[in-house]
Amino acid sequence: MSGLLVGAILRSPHPHARIVSIDISEAEALPGVHAVIHAGNVEQRPYGYNHDNVPLKGEKVRFIGDEVAAVAAVDEETARRALELITVQYEPLPTVFDPFESLDPSSPQIHDELENVEGNVAMRWDWDHGDVAAAEAEAAAIVEGMYSAPQAAPVPIETHIVIASFDPAEHLTVWSPIHMVFMYRKELADCLGLDWEHITVIQPPVGGSFGGKIDIDPHDFITVMLARKTRRPVKLVMSREEEFIGTRTRQPIHFKLRTGADADGNLLFRDAEIVSDNGAYNGWGSHAMLVAMQTITSMYRVPASRVRCAVVYTNKNYGGSVRGFGNPQATFAVEQQMEEIADALGLDPMDVRLRNANQPGDVTPQGMQITSCGLEECLEIVREQSGWDKRRGTMRERHRGLGAAAFVHVGGGARIYRSDGCGAMVKVDDSAQVTLITGASELGQGSETVLAMIVAEEIGVPLDAVHVINSNTDVKPWDVGVHASRTTFVAGNAAKLAATKVREQLLETAVEVLGAPVDELRIVDGVVEVSGDEEKRMPLGKLMRRRLLREQGSIVMATAFYDPPTQMQKDYYGNVSAAYGFGAHVAEVEVDPGTGMVRLLNLWTAHDVGRAINPMSAEGQIEGGAAMGIGLALSEELVIFDGQIAAPNLHDYGLPTAVDVPRIVVNLVETIDPRGPFGAKGLGEAGIIPPAAAIANAVADATGIRPRAYPMRPWKVKEWLDAGERSHVARQGAADA
Residues of the shown chain interacting with its own copies in the complex, contacts defined by CB under 8 A: 169, 182, 185-186, 189, 196-200, 415, 417-419, 421, 423, 425, 427, 429-433, 435, 437, 464-465, 467, 469, 473-475, 477-478, 541, 548-555, 557-559, 561, 563, 565-567
Minimum CB distance to its own copies smaller for 170 or for 264? 170
CA 73 from chain center: how many Å?
Answer: 35
Residue closest to 497 by CA, chosen among 456, 455, 534, 539: 455
Identify the CA nearest to 481 among candidates 443, 427, 451.
443
Give whichever of 350 and 538 is closer to its own copies, judged by the CB atom: 538
Closer residue to its own copies, CB minimum distance, 185 or 607: 185
Closer residue to its own copies (CB): 266 or 433 = 433
Give me the least distance between CB of 436 and its own copies, in Å please. 10
Q: How far is the CB of 617 from its own copies (least distance, A)?
A: 16
Q: Is the peptide bond before 365 cis (omega within 30 degrees of 0)?
A: no
> Smallest distance, Å, CB 188 to its own copies?
11
Shortest gap between Cβ of 710 and its own copies (angstroms)? Answer: 38
How far apart are CB 423 and its own copies at their closest, in Å?
6
DSSP 3-state of 402: strand
Please report how close the Cβ of residue 529 comes to its own copies at its closest, in angstroms. Answer: 19
List CB contacts of 318: < 8 A, sequence separation 6 or more: 63, 248, 249, 251, 278, 279, 280, 281, 282, 283, 285
Residues 319, 286: contact at Cβ < 8 Å?
yes
Q: State the burial class of residue 144 (Cβ atoms within 10 Å of its Cβ: 0-12, 13-18, 19+).
A: middle
Q: How far is the CB of 202 from its own copies (least distance, A)?
A: 12
* Cβ nearer to its own copies, comparing 549 with 723: 549
CA–CA gap between residue 190 and residue 471 (Å, rounded): 22
Minimum CB distance to its own copies smaller for 344 or for 437: 437
Q: In 247-387, which ranges are continuous DSSP H helix?
A: 288-298, 327-345, 349-356, 375-385
Residue (of 175, 153, 156, 155) closest to 164 by Cα position: 175
Rg (CA), the chain: 27
Nearer Cβ to its own copies (239/559): 559
Q: Could you count the other beta carbons within 10 Å of the beta carbon of residue 45?
A: 12
Q: Name the residue among 500, 496, 531 with its Cα closest to residue 514.
A: 531
Q: Which residue, 90 or 561, is less far from its own copies as judged by CB?
A: 561
Among candidate residues 628, 599, 603, 605, the one with its CA nearest the CA of residue 699: 599
Pick 502 or 699: Cβ nearer its own copies: 502
- How far apart are CB 562 and its own copies at their closest, in Å? 9
Please name the residue ranges forming H helices in 421-479: 447-459
Residue 557 vs 650, nearer CB to its own copies: 557
Q: How far is the CB of 435 from its own copies (least distance, A)?
A: 5
Distance CA 692, CA 65 (A): 29
Closer residue to its own copies in complex, CB, 549/659: 549
The kind and range of the H/E element at 307 are strand 304-313
φ, ψ for residue 68 (rounded to 5)? -115, -40
Residue number, 375 or 494, with CB nearest to its own copies: 494
- Closest distance of CB 602 from its own copies, Å: 35
Kindly state the smallest distance separating residue 213's Cβ from its own copies, in Å. 21
> Which residues, at least 6 apart from 722, have a Cβ–Cβ distance to it below 8 Å?
none
- Pairing of the two strands 466-469 and 434-438: parallel
DSSP 497: H
CB of residue 475 vs its own copies: minimum separation in angstroms?
Answer: 5
Residue (254 or 427) nearer to its own copies, CB: 427
**What is the nearest approach in angstroms of its own copies to the Cβ of residue 203?**
15
Q: Which of 280, 32, 323, 358 is nearest to 155 (CA)?
A: 323
Element (H, E) at 189: helix 181-192
